[in-house]
Amino acid sequence: MSAPEKVSTAAREVLSESTNQLMVSAASAWEIAIKTRLGRLDGEPLLSAWSDVIADMTATNLAIDAGDAILAGRLPWEHKDPFDRVLVAQAARRNLTIATSDAHIVTAALTPTLRI
């Protein structure tokens, strides 16, 4: 986690539970890389150490597959952010909970969320 101080205590407890498997979507790396290239985010340190950061979190990289892409395009949701749509599709297909502070994802109620 690049800014653990921004995560609520309750969410931090859930995320640190050894029985919960953390997964980080390739969509997150993709979005950070684009925002970094456009100068909207200083994500280069995180991107350069991506594998180490994921390992330190004892998380697993979650690849995007064709099923994720198809569901993301078909979701009955007016939100147009393609990254959010992929994250929701991945969670829905795998029965995962999304840890997010994004109100669009939380209010869509298309998959369980953990508000951080």
Whole-angstrom Cα distance, residue 116 to residue 105?
A: 12
pLDDT at 65: 98
pLDDT mean for each 10 residues of the chain (116 residues): 72 86 97 98 97 95 98 93 96 95 89 90
pLDDT at 83: 96
pLDDT at 3: 66
Cα distances (angstroms) measured from residue 60 to each of 50, 53, 63, 68? 11, 11, 9, 17
Helices 66-74 & 82-94 angle (0-180, nearest 10):
110
Range(s) of the domain holding residue 35: 4-115
Looking up residue 52, the CATH number of its domain turns out to be 3.40.50.1010
Place of tokens 């998380």: 59
pLDDT at 1: 54
Give the number of domains in the chain: 1
